[in-house]
Amino acid sequence: MRLALKRTACILLVVLLCSVAWLHFVGRISLTTQDLGRHIRNGELALTGHHIISTNYYAYTYPDFHTVCHHWAAGVLLFLVWKAWGFVGLSSFYGGVLLITFAFFIWTAARSASCRSALTAAALVLPLLAYRIEIRPEGLTTLFLGLNFLLLDSYRRGKLDGRWLWLVPVVHLLWVNVHILFAVGLCLTGIFILDALVREGFSRSFRLLFGVGLASVAASCLNPFGLEGVLQPLNIFNVYGYKLAENQTVFFMMKRFPGRTIYEYFLILLGVAAALWILRVVRERNWRDSFLHLALLVFFGLMAVKAVRAIAMFGLFFIPLAAENWESVVAGYAGRWAGAWRRLTALACGALILMAAVVPSFYLSPLRKYSRLVGDPQYANSLFYVLARPALWAGLEDGVNGSAEFFRGNGLRGPVFNNYDIGGYFIFHLFPGERPFVDNRPEAYPVDFFSKTYGPMQEDDKVWEDISRQYGFEVIYFYRHDMTTWGQPFLIRRLADPRWAPVFVDAWTIILARRGGVNQSVIDRFELPRSMFRSRKN
C-alpha cells in the first residue's frame, strides 16, 4: 500500500512537472528575428525544387558565395510541419521535441539514482532549458543527444545489450543532416569510449564503443557535402564576421545584460554539480568510477561558459549528474540520517514542482511570462487555464506579419537595405520577389563584408553614402530593436535625414523609403510624421 502511494505520488509529480515544462518550452513565435522563416524556405526548396543550397543563394550581395547548409534536413521537417499544421503546429511540435528530450534525461537519472532526486534536479534546471526555446534545428540536436546518452549510459550500466549501440551511428546519419552540433554527439561517444578505457582498459566494452564511434564518424560523412560537411564544425567560426550573442561567454553576457539572472543561476548550478562530484569522489576514493561524470561536467559546463547557447545542454546533463551524485553523497555522508535526507529530498521535489505550477513569481515558474497575457485576474495564476488555451502559447505573435504585408500590399520595391536580425523574416515573406542585403547566416558572407561593409556603413555616414550609391538602395527595412552598437545610432540618423521618409513602424520593424525614388507614391500616402519618433538612452 505504501509503495503504491509512493508510485502514485511520483506519477502525479511527473505529470505536473511535464505540464510546467511544457509551458516553459513553448511560446508564441515572433518570427521577425528568428531563423525559422529561412529554414522553412530551405525545406520548401529541397522538396519542391530538389535543391539543397550550397551558396549564399538568398541575398543579392553575395549570391554565389559558397557555404555548407548543414541543417537542410531540419528545414524539410519544419516545412512539412508548417505546411500541415501552420505555426500553431510548429509551436506544438517543437515543444514536444523538447519535452521528449527532457524525459530522456529524467528517465536516465531516475534509473541511476531515484525518482525524487531526478525530478528535483529536473525542476531546478527548468530556467536553463527555457533559455533556448526559439524554434531551430538545435532542438533536434538535444533530442539526438538525449537518445544517444540514454543508449550509451544504459549499456554502461549493463541495462542494455551491446547490439543496441549500433543505433548510435544511425542517429548520427540523421543528425549530420539536421544540425552542425552533430559534432557534440561524436564528442559524447568519445567521452564514453574514454570512460571505458579508464575503467576497464582495452576491454570488450572499449572495443565495442570504439567501433560504434568509428561507425558514427563514417555515418556522418553521408551528407550532401561529404567530408566538408563533417569538418564544418571545426571551420565555421573561421568565417564568422558577425558576433552572435548566442556564441558569447557567460561573463560577457552578464556584463551586457546585468538584469538577466539566468547567467548567475547557471553558474550556481555548475558549482553545485562540481561540489557534488567532489564530495562523492572524496568519500568513495575511486575517481575512475566517477570519471564519466567529471568528463561530462567539464565538457558541457565549459561549453556553456564559453558559449551561452550551450546553457540548455548543460541543464539537461545536470539532471542525471546531480541526481546520481546527490544520492551517492547522501548514502556516503548522512549515515543513520540518510532516510531523513531522502525524505527531505522528496519534500523539496514536491515543493519545487508545486510552487512552479501555482506561484507566478517563483523563479522556476513558467507563469511569469503568461500572467501578463491572461486578462482575467482570477486565472492569472492558473497553470491549467494557460495550458488549455493554445492561443496564449502557440502560433505567431499578433501583428508580427504587419510589415511584410505592408511591403507587399503597397508594392514597395528595392533594392532593400535590411539589418542582420530581420534576414530570415525577409526571406520567408518577400523572397524571391525581393532579396535581402544580408540575412542571419554569418558563414554565408565573406568576413570582410561585416567588418568593412555592414558595420562601417552604419557607423560612418560617408561609408553609408558610398555603399548606398553602389547598391542604389530604395528601402531601409530594419528590426528596430537592433542591439548592436551601431544599429540604433544609424536609425536615428536616417530618421533625421530628409532624403528618407518613414512609411511604416510597428512593435518590431520600421520601413523607410527614399524620396524621389520608385516608392514615392507610397511616401505620398503613408509618410509618418517625424514627431512620433523619440530616441532615448538605454
Distance from C-alpha of 416 to C-alpha of 247, rounded to nearest angstrom: 28
Residue span of the structural domain in which 439 resides: 402-532
- Residue where a domain terminates, one of 369, 386, 413: 369
For the chain, the maximum distance between any two Cα atoms, rounded to a whole number of angstroms, is 85
Q: Are residues 220 and 97 in the same domain?
A: yes
Contact 415, 471 (CB under 8 A): yes
In-domain check, residue 389: no
Q: Name which of 3-17, 349-363, 511-525 the model is least confident about.
A: 3-17
Q: Are residues 359 and 415 in the same domain?
A: no
Contact 357, 19 (CB under 8 A): yes
In-domain check, residue 46: no
Which cell numbers in the block locate residue 393? 502559447
Q: Are residues 328 and 232 in the same domain?
A: yes
Task: Please report the pLDDT score of residue 474 as a whole number.
Answer: 95
Q: Are residues 364 and 484 in the same domain?
A: no
In-domain check, residue 36: no
Q: Are residues 253 and 320 in the same domain?
A: yes
- Residue 447's pLDDT band (boundaries 50, 70, 90)? confident
Q: Name which of 33-37, 78-82, 124-128, 140-144 the model is least confident about.
A: 33-37
pLDDT above 90 covers a percentage of the chain that reads: 67
Q: Are residues 431 and 513 in the same domain?
A: yes
> Can you tell me which residue has the cell 565573406?
446
In-domain check, residue 263: yes
- Residue 536's pLDDT band (boundaries 50, 70, 90)? low
Structural domains of the chain, count? 2
- Residue 237's pLDDT band (boundaries 50, 70, 90)? low
pLDDT tens digits, 282-316: 888 888 888 999 999 999 999 999 989 999 999 99
Q: Are residues 306 and 419 in the same domain?
A: no
- Residue 240's pLDDT band (boundaries 50, 70, 90)? low
Q: Are residues 73 and 20 in the same domain?
A: yes
E-strand stretches of 352-434: 416-418
Which cell numbers in the block locate residue 229? 560537411
In-domain check, residue 18: yes
Q: Are residues 446 and 299 in the same domain?
A: no
Sheet with 416-418, edge to edge strand ranges:
416-418, 475-479, 509-514, 500-505
In-domain check, residue 52: no
Instruction: Please choose, from the candidates 61, 154, 133, 37, the residue with its C-alpha nearest in 3D space to the C-alpha of residue 445.
Output: 61
The pLDDT of 268-279, averaged and rounded, is: 95
Q: Are residues 19 and 164 in the same domain?
A: yes
Q: Are residues 351 and 438 in the same domain?
A: no
| pLDDT > 60? residue 538 | no
In-domain check, residue 496: yes
In-domain check, residue 6: yes
Task: Please report the pLDDT score of residue 8 as a whole number.
Answer: 79
Q: Are residues 230 and 309 in the same domain?
A: yes
